[in-house]
Structures are given as structure tokens and as C-alpha cells.
Amino acid sequence: MLTWQLEDPTDIAAANKYTFYKPSPEVLSKVAVGEVVKLIFRGQGDDADDVYVERMWVIVDVVHPGNRFEGRLDNDPYNIRGLQAGDPVSFEARHIIDTAHQDPHDFTAKYVKRAFVTHRILRDGQPICFLYREEPDDEQDSGWRFTAGDETDEYMDDANNISYVSLGAVLSKDDSVLHLLDEPEGSAFKRDEASGRFVPDLCG
């Protein structure tokens, strides 16, 4: 009896379009024998109540018509019992979350750089009301900073109220700023209370 199963990431990708990459049909059609693909495994641990989710690579051995594949697990899981490197794995194209091919349709790649965002947005679900872009701290930094506009000076002085996350994580909470993210350093915008639209903040 199998102690694991494969996850279909379709719904996950749909719910997290800015942070979860799922290969395009164009890329999936290129997968060939001898390549590796990444799948999501859900399985039991040593205790009956322990359930783990692990992303692991599988070597493709057979490509069947109808987007079906046979392969072998290429690494040992950390926690899922009854599964080890070399074990056979049958899967479909819908299970694949990564391949060895570059994907020009990878929507998440544009939003991997990071930004500072307050927890009023990230955790409390408040909309973004003010954003500005400064010189990035490093190559991973987008330079963007986001606030809900109602944070006090005391709130902002507490580092525990601010997170440094990907732009994709910010957009997953509020993507109304999507059209502004290509604006240059020095840009600042605030949400107009009357229209709800973002306008340049000349005092920012």
C-alpha cells in the first residue's frame, strides 16, 4: 500500500499566480526521456498522524501519449516513509511544477525580487495606500516599500511589524499596484481617497 500520493498543483497555481510557478503547456511538451522534472509528493511520516509535503525531482524514463510519464525518484525524501531514491513514479503533465527548460511564460519570474511591506498589508489584509521606490539595498531588492497608510511612527519603528518578501507575495495580497512596479527609483504614489486610484505623491 502506498504511503504517498502526488499533488495536482493546478488549484495552488491559480490561487497564487504571482508566487507559484507551473510550467506552460509549451514547456511540458518538451519534456523528454532522461530529463528531470519536479513533482509535489504528499505522504505519511513515521507516525500515522504525520503528513508531509515535499517537492522532489524525478528522472523521466518513459513518455506516453496523452501527457503521461514513467520515471524514478532522483532523491530521498526527508520525512515521507516508504519512498526512496530510485523508486518508480507514474505521473501526468499536470503534476509537474518544474523542468530543465527555460519557460518564457513564467509569470512569477518578474516578481521574485524583494520589497519591504508592513504587516497591516501582509497579515491584516489592509490595501496598499502608499508606496515608494528607493535605491535597492542589493541585487535581490526591488527598492519598493509598501504601507497601508495608517501605520504610526511607533508601529514603523518596530522591525517586527515589517517583512522583507518577494514582490509576488505583496501582489498576492493586493495587486492594484501591478501597473506601477516598472516605475523608476524615486517614484512615490498614494491612493486617492475619492477615486481609489494611485496618484504621484510629490511630497514622497
Q: What is the pLDDT of residue 2?
A: 73
Least confident of 15-24, 40-49, 90-99: 40-49
Q: Does residue 101 belong to any structural domain of this protein?
A: no
Distance CA 158, CA 172 (A): 24
Q: What is the mean pLDDT of residues 8-18?
A: 93
Same structural domain for residues 155 and 123?
yes
Reduced to 3 states (helix: H, G, I; strand: E, B; else coil), residue 172 is: helix
Same structural domain for residues 120 and 85?
no
pTM of this structure: 0.83
Q: Does residue 78 belong to any structural domain of this protein?
A: yes
Q: Give the burial class of 160: count Cβ atoms within 10 A of its Cβ; 0-12 exposed, 13-18 middle, 19 or more buried.
A: exposed
Same structural domain for residues 72 and 127?
no
Q: What is the pLDDT of residue 47?
A: 80
Overall number of domains in the chain: 2
Q: Give the burial class of 127: count Cβ atoms within 10 A of its Cβ; 0-12 exposed, 13-18 middle, 19 or more buried.
A: middle
The residue among 40, 42, 59 whose CA lies nearest residue 5 is 42
Question: Which residues are within 8 A (CB) of 104 and not within 5 positions of it... i.e. 6 or more apart?
Answer: 24, 26
pLDDT, tens digit, 9 for 90 and up, residues 181-201: 999 999 999 999 999 999 999
Q: What is the pLDDT of residue 97?
A: 97
pLDDT, tens digit, 9 for 90 and up, residues 46-105: 887 789 999 999 999 999 999 999 999 999 999 999 999 999 999 999 999 999 999 988
Q: What is the pLDDT of residue 49?
A: 79
Q: Does residue 119 belong to any structural domain of this protein?
A: yes
Q: Is the pLDDT of residue 204 over 60?
A: no
Q: Does residue 103 belong to any structural domain of this protein?
A: no
Same structural domain for residues 79 and 120?
no
Q: What is the mean pLDDT of residues 40-45?
A: 94
Q: What is the pLDDT of residue 1?
A: 59
pLDDT, tens digit, 9 for 90 and up, residues 122-169: 999 999 999 999 999 999 999 999 999 999 999 999 999 999 999 999
Per the CB < 8 A criterion, the answer to whether 31 and 63 are in contact is yes
Same structural domain for residues 139 and 175?
yes
Distance CA 55, CA 6 (A): 10
The range of the structural domain enclosing residue 61 comes to 4-95
